[in-house]
Amino acid sequence: MTNSRMLAVQSPIIPVVGELIRNSPGTISLGQGVVSYSPPPSAIELLPKFLADPANNLYKAVEGIPPLLDALTEKLSIFNGIDINDNNCIVVTAGSNMAFMNAILAITSPGDEIILNTPYYFNHEMAIAMAGCRAVLVETDENYQLRPDAIAQAITPKTRAVVTISPNNPTGVVYSEDLLRHVNQICADSGIYHISDEAYEYFTYDGVKHVSPASFAGNSDYTISLYSLSKAYGFASWRIGYMVIPKHLLVALKKVQDTILICPPVVSQYAALGALQAKPEYLQENIGAVAGVRQIVIDYLNQLQGLCTITPANGAFYFFLKVHTNLDAFELVKRLIQEYKVAVIPGTTFGMEHGCYLRVAYGALQKDTVTAGIDRLVQGLKAIV
């Protein structure tokens, strides 16, 4: 028996590359988008409070426990400039991937269209396919910045949302306030949603500031914002994200979440509450260390001028290389692992079917391992290409 729904969905690339890495011991991974550091001590310190309440083994509210919702309300106001009011609300999720799936199921019917900007985040495209909808792909410009006119032209009567990711995965670029305002206004004028994925909101460099579209005046009815603790707080396996949604979507969203999850894991919600109480130095020092690693990566990648196009990127912890070769991207990835013991992710996974692209992730590396890993990548590309 074949499962027709899942046949249309691409296989996630991370496990495939992971298997190649396991078969080539000693490989340094510039593949998965995680950070090297641990959650703040304040996250662990709150766990006894969870264990002390005998009722905490029972189901809790679908949208999250009140103390965490209060803490997130404060964070959104201070950091994002988003006020939680009568027109919007927060829903805690098991990571922001789940938040995206929640949003797609809440706003679409099978056959509807969602606009993704390429290169896209592969799990977004997969979620759209799983929901029986169609991803409509709009190319970004040569610096991977949004093209609002192209987005507007791609809208049809079946379009339900435009998705933006800033800071971006896989390119690392940060979208300007002007571009995000333009896209947000297009969504308002077209009567569709703007889904803004902001999982990397804290990871910006060289004085660049993160902008949340939901902070723009009067857009509560059509802006859906997605957030994650996985990256900034070293929380990947704890699975806590959250979303800010128009209030009118809450009933639909609770149906989805109650069916898939019932409630976000309460032990993780307590840890998240603790994480949000971390001293400011926690983020400053850890993201400062990532910024230091980033500079090493830039210095090494500059040796590839002529072999690759390296687009400047001021956010997240990725660079997206266009390699000047006729080689297939996945074949190049396999050779880099087998011959040079360094792993990256092929651009085909992110919707880049034409040309050879590689995503280089540096968030999980310390200064010593990044030097070894990025040196292997540079030497490998010089030799193979």
Of the three residues 241, 275, 309, the one that is the final residue of a domain is 275
Of the three residues 234, 254, 275, the one that is the final residue of a domain is 275
Give the span between the Cα atoms of 319 and 360, in whole angstroms.
5
Of the three residues 217, 241, 275, the one that is the final residue of a domain is 275
Give the span between the Cα atoms of 110 and 131, in whole angstroms.
6
Residue 344 sits in the same domain as residue 305: yes
Residue 107 sits in the same domain as residue 137: yes
CA atoms within 13 A on the CB side of 82: 28
Residue 24 sits in the same domain as residue 80: no
Residue 352 sits in the same domain as residue 378: yes
Residue 235 sits in the same domain as residue 350: no
Instruction: Count the domains in the chain.
Output: 2
Residue 76 sits in the same domain as residue 188: yes
Q: Report CA Rg, the chain.
A: 21
Per-residue pLDDT of the chain (385 residues), as tens digits, is 666 788 888 888 888 888 999 999 999 999 878 898 999 999 999 999 999 999 999 999 999 999 999 999 999 999 999 999 999 999 999 999 999 999 999 999 999 999 999 999 999 999 999 999 999 999 999 999 999 999 999 999 999 999 999 999 999 999 999 999 999 999 999 999 999 999 999 999 999 999 999 999 999 999 999 999 999 999 999 999 999 999 999 999 999 999 999 999 999 999 999 999 999 999 999 999 999 999 999 999 999 999 999 998 999 999 999 999 999 999 999 999 999 999 999 999 999 999 999 999 999 888 888 899 999 999 999 999 8
Residue 199 sits in the same domain as residue 309: no
Residue 110 sits in the same domain as residue 166: yes
Residue 192 sits in the same domain as residue 138: yes
Give the span between the Cα atoms of 168 and 318, in whole angstroms.
8
Domain that holds residue 16: 4-39+280-384
Give the span between the Cα atoms of 350 and 121, in whole angstroms.
6
pLDDT at 5: 83
The CATH number given to whatever domain includes residue 356 is 3.90.1150.10
Q: Which residues 6+ apart lie within 8 Å of 284 measured at CB?
A: none
- Its pTM stands at 0.96
Please name which of 197, 155, 160, 202 lies closest in space to residue 180, comparing C-alpha atoms. Answer: 197
Residue 136 sits in the same domain as residue 16: no
The CATH number given to whatever domain includes residue 242 is 3.40.640.10
Residue 109 sits in the same domain as residue 238: yes
Residue 360 sits in the same domain as residue 233: no
Please name which of 14, 20, 27, 6 lies closest in space to residue 376, comparing C-alpha atoms. Answer: 27
Give the span between the Cα atoms of 275 and 263, in whole angstroms.
19
